[in-house]
Amino acid sequence: MNKYTIELANTCLGCKKPSCQTGCPVNTPIAEMIRLFLAGDIKKAGKMLFENNPLSAICSLVCPHEKHCEGHCILNKKGTSVSVGEIENYISDFYMNDLKFEKPAKNGHKIAIIGTGPAGIALAFILGAKGYEITMYEAHDKIGGVLRYGIPDFRLDKKILDTIEKKLEQLGVAIRKNIMIGRNITIADMFRDEFKVVFVGTGVWSPKKLGIKGESLGNVHFAIDYLKSPSEYNLGKRVVVLGAGNVAMDVARTAVRHHAREVTILYRKGMDDMPASKHEIECAKIDGVKFELYKQPIEITENSVKYTELNNNDAEGFLEADSVLISISQDPRGYIAKSTQEIQVDGKGLLITDESGRTTMKGVFASGDAVTGARTVVEAVAFSKRAAVAIEEYIETCKA
């Protein structure tokens, strides 16, 4: 048993009305989790966490805890909150490695899940455990979506995704890899093949461009593409990152770990205006990432970024760069909507749904980033939990 984890758990006050729980998008019973852990019921605590959030082992590592559970901890008023993420990860990791699913009896209803990212995995666990015949479709050769290809290894050990795949297989979930739904196979094909429901959890993989001169040059890369295989890139010694969200922090820190001598984030606003979490910004600073603020990029050259100084009468300047990484958000690829006219999207290409994930096409549901745009893993799980309820209601209605 980890003595340090026990010490962290003992800082919890066991509040009768835990604000940490209400601050969590999936309402994780944190006080009860810690009580069970300290009482020696780690398996019971792990089971409770998994049933509430099938991605607990991952959310405990990558969640912005200062925004959710830890940010709502009452101990913040006196100093430091309970380290919920570390405690939850210890319990969830223990449970996931110990757990062996028994394959449930099939209930005769087939569900297709497009995408094996957080939204799809959460739904597969929830409905797979209830006997639904689940088939998942993945465009890459490995499952995980943004968890595998959008989060650096130093933040998330990808071995957990391999463990998750084994658990899904134990539930009888079939996973079809290296297939992009909407190109050859369509949603119409799935309904033809007797799937009762099709769920779309494809995420957002099409990077937004700045629309400035130089963006097509060979030393310019999109952040979401770079994160898929950073070791394949030769960025040189001086790297400039354009953007200031969590993905920008991830690519900057990844570039540092791949031997860039100087990594700079160029941003048009101030430090307090950055969309990245304070924790991620602080981690970037600790890793040696520099920040150039109130500078608007206006052109990229083969060895620099030309910018306008927004707080200096729009004076122009240059920042030397061997490579430039563009990180200003992503949109959906759009293959599914283009191949299925009944599915409506908004102006950004995001799927239009109600709060329970019902799209504008009967029998098609969606959740996660494909609906909301880039959000956190735990928000995708919360959305998929609502969608799971709506899917079961829909299937029951079809049976009547």
Please write the tens of the pLDDT for every residue from 329-386.
898 888 998 899 999 999 999 999 999 999 999 999 999 999 999 999 999 999 999 9
In three-state secondary structure terms, 95 is helix
Indicate the residue among 275, 297, 328 that finishes a domain: 328
199 and 335 share a domain? yes
Candidates 3, 176, 187; CA nearest to 86 is 3
State how far the Cα of 49 lies from the Cα of 58, in Å rounded to an integer. Answer: 12
Give a yes or no: residue 105 inside a domain.
Answer: no
Question: What pLDDT digit, counting tens, does each position of 124-181 carry?
Answer: 999 999 999 999 999 999 999 999 999 999 999 999 999 999 999 999 999 999 999 9
* Whether the predicted pLDDT of 3 surpasses 80: no
> pLDDT digit string (tens) for 12-29?
999 999 999 999 999 999
Contact of 192 with 114, CB cutoff 8 Å: no
**pLDDT for the residue numbered 319:** 98
Question: How large is the C-alpha radius of gyration of the chain?
Answer: 22
Tokens of 378: 């735990």
Amino acid at 272: D
Q: Which domain holds residue 9?
A: 3-98
Residue 62 lies in a domain: yes
Judgement on whether residues 230 and 299 belong to the same structural domain of the protein: yes
Phi, psi of 41 (to 5 degrees): -100, 55
Q: What whole-number distance in Å separates Cα of residue 302 and Cα of residue 127?
A: 51
Among 97-101, 198-202, 395-399, top mean pLDDT goes to 198-202
Contacts of 288 (CB under 8 A, 6+ apart): 256, 263
- % of the chain surpassing 90 pLDDT: 88
Same domain, yes or no, for 128 and 275? no
62 by DSSP, 3-state: which? helix
**pLDDT (tens digit, 9 = 90+) per residue, 86-108?**
999 999 999 998 889 899 999 99
Among the three residues 304, 328, 352, which one is the final residue of a domain in this structure?
328
Q: Mean pLDDT across the chain, nearest whole number?
A: 95
Looking at the fold, whether 324 and 220 belong to one and the same domain comes out as yes
How far is it, in rounded angstroms, from Cα 127 to Cα 237? 48
Question: Where among 59, 78, 98 does a domain terminate?
Answer: 98
Task: Check which CATH number belongs to the domain holding 38 and give it.
Answer: 1.10.1060.10
Token couple for 33: 């989790």
Residue 110's closest CA among 219, 199, 194, 14?
A: 194
Task: With beta carbons less than 8 A apart as the criterion, state whether 334 and 347 touch.
Answer: no
Whether the per-residue pLDDT at 1 is higher than 60: the answer is no
Structural domain count of the chain: 3
- Do 190 and 336 belong together in one domain? yes
Is there a single domain that holds both residue 195 and residue 214?
A: no
CA 13 to chain centre: 31
Q: Is 66 within a domain? A: yes
37 assigned to some structural domain? yes
Q: Please indicate, yes or no, if residue 65 is contained in any of the structural domains.
A: yes
At 194, list the tokens. 């007797």
User: Are 86 and 62 part of one and the same domain?
Assistant: yes
Indicate if 254 and 308 belong to the same structural domain: yes
Q: Is 197 exposed, middle or buried (0-12, 13-18, 19+ CB in 10 A)?
A: buried
Please tell me whether residues 195 and 269 are part of one structural domain. no
Would residue 103 count as lying in a domain?
no
Quick check: is 381 in a domain? yes
At 400 the pLDDT is 60
Same domain, yes or no: 160 and 114:
yes
**Are 7 and 74 within one domain?**
yes
Task: Give the CATH number for residue 268.
Answer: 3.50.50.60
Residue 227's pLDDT is 97
- Whether 217 and 323 map to the same domain: the answer is yes
Is residue 313 included in any domain, yes or no? yes
pLDDT at residue 98 in the model? 87
